[in-house]
Amino acid sequence: MKKVEAIEIDDPQLFGHPRGLTVLFFAEMWERFCYYGMRGLLVLYLTKSLLQGDQQAFAIYGAYTALVYMAPVLGGRIADNILGYRIAIILGAIMMAIGEFMILGGNETWLYLGMGAIIVGNGYFKANISTLVGKLYKPDDPRRDSGFTIFYIGINIGALLATLVVVWVGERFGFKYGFGLAGIGMLLGLFFFVLGQKFYKHLSHPPHPAKLYKKMFGPLNQLHITIILSFLLIPVLYFLIIYNNVVGILLLLTFAYVGYTLIKSGIAGGKILKDRMIIFIILCLFNIVFWALFEQAGSSLTLFADRNVDRNVFGLFEMTAGQTQFFNPFFIILMGSLFSVLWVKLTERNLNPNIPAKFGFGIILLGIGYLITRFGYSTHNEAFLVPLWIIVGIYFFHTVGELFISPIGLSMVTKLAPERLTGTLMGAWFLSFSGSNFLAGQLAKLTGAGGAVEAGVVATGPESLHRYIEVYSVFGWIAIGTGIVVLLLSPKLNKLMHGIR
């Protein structure tokens, strides 16, 4: 009887993929609506409403986004060992919604507390929903890469809606309305996730259900205690955001611990697993380089758009600075399905680049995007505003580079990870995003060295434009150089994957 139920659950398909993918697609879409809505407004809120200088705003932004991506390391392990994926994702969604509504308090204290709740919630939600997508497919299912690309499109529809709606409402009518909309979006994501649980629930049970609901301290069971401890992390994160230099030290220690754990597990599992853990760590380092440069979008590129970009669209209307982040998810949605088909067609012809080579191509494309800013010297107007096509070009090349790395990276993690390490490896993958976001905050400060160092002090048009172009040019050459090195090493790196493509 049990076998029959499994067949009935696994059978439903939609457009050639498990029905559970549709449920997770919409849950993730609305969660990203929440996250990117808040992210799109954060630096603008810090500099324009709370009147903080660029340097401080970038440091807070970098620490926050770093902690957002560090949290899945813990969230993945707790899901693997205690909660299971379904409960962890539901708890994460609730905490993220609470965090958004906390920000409505309207001052720095409520902002940092809300950010703390979002960090913990994201830790439970982000890594585990990606892991759950991987579990919808058998390890050798050729649809897996395509499924993750479709899932990635859902992420970017959420980000697109966030920039079109949340960021626009926040900038035009008041930041509190934008943050409130982001919280409502998270509740919608929770609704879709719970509504469609019959299509994935069989893959997301707690590892030890009896232990989870067994009383431990008076009436409290393991589930209650985990929830209470999760909320107690919020004030800890509050202080980490304020004293954000500590985050860098915390990251280094966490990297060392996770790297040691993965290598130790690899050695215990034999040569193949050891090699796969080594290549995983190497690709994590390249991932840090890519995203540290890419993640200027929510910080320095937004202020560049605010100060030195003519955002008038064909004389019809003017985009807000935060809305320029729209181009990244727009290009993902436009090209994501094409790349999904491309990888399948290239595989059929035995022309699909190996995973390390895709990382190299992605980093090179990122660098080309930044070098487009060089055209700003010859195309700016009398107010030292560059045409909108420059920032569109930046986001276009960054997005193509992203499509070479991000959905492929998610799929790679689920292929490399043995069953017992799936959540841990996914958490480690998001830890590399954590490092990149912290580094991104530090790199963003370079664009403000001649500009807004203190609140209310902003560089003049020519000074500001020159600084942005020169710093972004350096970013571009570093990325292109790194990408070429990765391409040259890709044949040797690919051998460490032992057949995984």
Residue 7 pLDDT more than 70? no
Residue 325 pLDDT more than 70? yes
Residue 346 pLDDT more than 90? no
pLDDT value for 327? 93
Q: Which region among 195-204, 296-305, 403-412 has the lowest average model confidence (pLDDT)?
A: 403-412
Q: State mean pLDDT over 121-130.
A: 88
**Residue 420 or residue 230, greater confidence:** 230
Rounded distance, CA 459 to CA 258, Å? 42
Greatest pairwise CA separation for the chain in angstroms: 76
Q: Which two tokens stand for residue 385?
A: 């505003």
pLDDT value for 71? 87
57 near 452, Cβ under 8 Å? no
| Chain centre distance of CA 55 | 22
With residue 221 as reference, give the H or E element that holds it: strand 220-221
Residue where the block lists tokens 């571009």: 476
Q: State mean pLDDT over 234-248.
A: 92
Rounded distance, CA 35 to CA 158, Å? 9
Tell me the torsion sign for CA atoms 19, 336, 370, 360. positive
pLDDT digits (tens, 9 = 90+) for 256-265: 888 888 888 8
194 near 24, Cβ under 8 Å? no
**Residue 152 or residue 121, greater confidence:** 121
355 falls in which pLDDT band (50, 70, 90)?
Answer: confident
What is the residue-averaged pLDDT of the chain? 86
495 near 368, Cβ under 8 Å? no
Residue 471 pLDDT more than 60? yes
Q: Produce one character per residue of 459-468: b if its CB has 16 or more CB atoms within 10 Å, e if not.
A: bebeebbbbb
Q: State mean pLDDT over 408-435.
A: 76
Q: Where are the domains of the chain?
A: 15-495
Of the candidates 299, 332, 340, 261, the one whose C-alpha atom is nearest the C-alpha of residue 32 is 332
Residue 122 pLDDT more than 80? yes
Q: What does CATH list as the number for 15-495?
A: 1.20.1250.20
pLDDT value for 2? 39
Q: Using alpha carbons only, give the angle 297, 303, 305 rounded to the nearest 5 degrees.
A: 80
459 near 272, Cβ under 8 Å? no
308 near 465, Cβ under 8 Å? yes
CB under 8 Å to 419, separation ≥6 — which residues? none
Tell me how many helices (H) and strands (E) the chain has: 19, 6
pLDDT value for 410? 67
**CB neighbourhood size of 218 (10 A):** 7
Percentage above 90 pLDDT, the chain: 47
**Residue 381 or residue 419, greater confidence:** 381
Q: Which region among 69-73, 78-82, 421-425 has the lowest average model confidence (pLDDT)?
A: 421-425
Q: Which two tokens stand for residue 209?
A: 């259900």
